């Protein structure tokens, strides 16, 4: 066991899934933030358990050539980005390596390398922002949570967001201070404004502003609307009522104060309607690359029926519709299903059908009805597929299964389970949708073995 507060010499050999450096010191695994593989550092132990410890760099003895100066002034404090200290070459290498390591270790594969579609830019790419609001000496401010806490770190200009997002944040913060709207305090569950949510269509430029309230009303909404009109593309102002304690950002009820309550954007040549709750990839450019990779790898033909589980507003489903005979999407959020159906109509797509429900249960139901499926696409949330989804896929026995994943560990677990059901891995690709942040997407193909 290492000694707390003592300084040890550490060689960084790997990264955790959150992007922290890992070193082995005297048989102990030490987790070290802001460290780069290959670096030799003096590390002060802050927390020590029997087999692991957490430490902080006090001195870098051998610096990685990938280390860069942080351009963001709050990068060290803000929990938004994990990688301001390393260049993008190292970041994308590490992300590809993480997907490869998971598929090998958990998925039982033996991949020697795995390609990654790296992002062309690390700046201004995020089309959605959720700023928590807090107060200091009676003055409201907005920013992002400090890593692992709910302390709000004020951020003047976030480098991964478009300017319009920060402009909205500043206008709302000024308005809140002028009209004495109380920021929400989660400890005593008092105050009104919880989050400022901004979504911007990368192609349309339309901006949706959603104020998440512990209540239903704001003072002088017309004044706020007039000010927001100065933001290029401002289209709609919505209130999300969230009076529940807890970590969910958006509530269930939405009240539109100005405009249609949604925005539109174009993705893969199709028009999409986006409500605050609909899932829409935050990196538009890379999402198109991801979907193109998924479509290409699906090898669908005009006679195929494609089942898209966890379809959101129907992005992948509709992008595949042209090449397929029929596409069926399944999604659990009713509003997203409504959006998906509406998106099919607005794009003149007639061979798409959407069902609302749990992906696994709905798929089992469709299978019972005798529907035959040639290709299955899944794009589940981080926890991956549930037992019903795996069972349904096995029963449908599609020719190809395209799995889009935002968590390599659960992806690899599901690959192992699907291999037991007679599938084999045919192709794997990582796609970086979140430069500077620890998450990585991947798209893999499984075929019947």
Site of interaction with ligand SAH (CB under 6 A): 279-281, 310-312, 315-316, 330-333, 336, 358-359, 379, 381
Q: Which among 28, 210, 406, 437 is annotated as catalytic?
A: 406
Q: Catalytic site residue 406?
A: yes
Is there a contact between 183 and 193 (Cβ–Cβ < 8 Å)?
A: yes
Q: Report, in Å, the least distance between residue 278 CB and ligand SAH.
A: 7
Q: Report, in Å, the least distance between residue 281 CB and ligand SAH.
A: 6
Is there a contact between 255 and 407 (Cβ–Cβ < 8 Å)?
A: no
Task: Report the residue number, 330 or 411, with the smaller CB distance to ligand SAH.
Answer: 330
Task: Report the residue number, 135 or 249, with the smaller CB distance to ligand SAH.
Answer: 249
Gap between the Cα atoms of 436 and 426, Å rounded: 29
Q: Report, in Å, the least distance between residue 358 CB and ligand SAH.
A: 4
Is there a contact between 303 and 323 (Cβ–Cβ < 8 Å)?
A: no
Question: Over the range 356-381, which residues count as b (16 or more CB within 10 Å of their CB) and which as e?
Answer: bebbbebbbbbbeeeeebbbbbbbbe
Task: Report the residue number, 203 or 332, with the smaller CB distance to ligand SAH.
Answer: 332
| DSSP category for residue 183 | B
Q: Report, in Å, the least distance between residue 353 CB and ligand SAH.
A: 15
Residue nearest to ligand SAH (CB): 312
Is there a contact between 400 and 298 (Cβ–Cβ < 8 Å)?
A: yes
Q: Report, in Å, the least distance between residue 363 CB and ligand SAH.
A: 9
Cα-based distances in Å from 305 to 14, 30, 323, 377 = 43, 50, 10, 11
Task: Report the residue number, 241 or 333, with the smaller CB distance to ligand SAH.
Answer: 333
Gap between the Cα atoms of 409 and 105, Å rounded: 9
Contacts of residue 445, defined as CB under 8 A and 6 or more positions apart, other chains included, come to 297, 298, 400, 401, 402, 403, 425, 426, 427, 428
Task: Report the residue number, 15 or 279, with the smaller CB distance to ligand SAH.
Answer: 279
Q: Which residues are catalytic?
A: 406
């Amino acid at each position: 066991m290492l000694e707390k507060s003592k300084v040890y010499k550490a060689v960084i050999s790997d990264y955790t899934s959150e992007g922290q450096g890992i070193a082995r010191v005297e048989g102990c695994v030490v987790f070290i933030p802001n460290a780069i593989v290959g670096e030799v550092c003096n590390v002060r132990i802050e927390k020590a358990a029997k087999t692991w410890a957490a430490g902080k760099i006090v001195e870098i003895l051998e610096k990685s050539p990938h280390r860069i100066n942080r351009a963001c002034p709050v990068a060290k404090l803000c929990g938004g980005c994990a990688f301001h200290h390393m260049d993008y070459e190292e970041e994308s290498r590490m992300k590809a390596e993480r997907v490869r390591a998971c598929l090998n270790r958990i998925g039982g594969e033996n991949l020697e390398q795995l390609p990654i579609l790296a992002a062309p830019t690390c700046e201004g790419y995020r089309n959605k922002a959720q700023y928590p609001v807090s107060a200091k000496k009676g003055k409201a401010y907005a920013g992002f949570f400090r890593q692992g806490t709910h302390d709000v770190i004020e951020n003047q200009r976030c480098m991964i967001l478009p300017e319009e997002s920060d402009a909205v944040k500043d206008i709302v913060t000024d308005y809140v201070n002028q009209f004495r709207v109380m920021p929400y305090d989660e400890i005593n569950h008092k105050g009104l404004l919880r989050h400022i949510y901004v979504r911007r269509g990368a192609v349309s430029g339309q901006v949706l502003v959603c104020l998440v309230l512990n209540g239903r009303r704001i003072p002088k909404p017309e004044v706020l609307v007039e000010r927001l009109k100065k933001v290029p593309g401002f289209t709609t102002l919505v209130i999300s009522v969230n009076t529940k304690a807890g970590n969910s950002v958006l509530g269930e009820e939405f009240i539109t104060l100005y405009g249609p309550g949604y925005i539109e954007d174009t993705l893969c040549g199709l028009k999409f309607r986006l409500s605050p709750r609909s899932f829409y990839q935050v990196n538009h450019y890379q999402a198109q690359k991801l979907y193109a990779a998924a479509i290409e790898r699906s090898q669908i033909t005009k006679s195929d029926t494609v089942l898209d589980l966890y379809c959101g507003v129907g992005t992948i489903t509709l992008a595949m519709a042209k090449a397929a005979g029929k596409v069926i999407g399944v999604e659990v959020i009713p509003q997203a299903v409504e959006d998906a159906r509406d998106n099919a109509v607005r794009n003149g797509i007639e061979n798409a059908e959407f069902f609302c429900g749990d992906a696994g249960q709905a798929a089992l139901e469709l299978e019972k009805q005798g529907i035959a499926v040639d290709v299955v696409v899944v794009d589940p949330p981080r926890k991956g597929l549930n037992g019903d989804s795996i069972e349904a896929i096995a029963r449908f026995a599609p020719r190809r299964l395209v799995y889009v994943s935002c968590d390599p560990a659960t992806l690899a677990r599901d690959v192992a389970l699907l291999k037991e059901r007679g599938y084999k891995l045919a192709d794997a690709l990582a796609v970086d949708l979140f430069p500077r942040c620890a998450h990585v997407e991947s798209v893999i193909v499984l075929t019947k073995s």
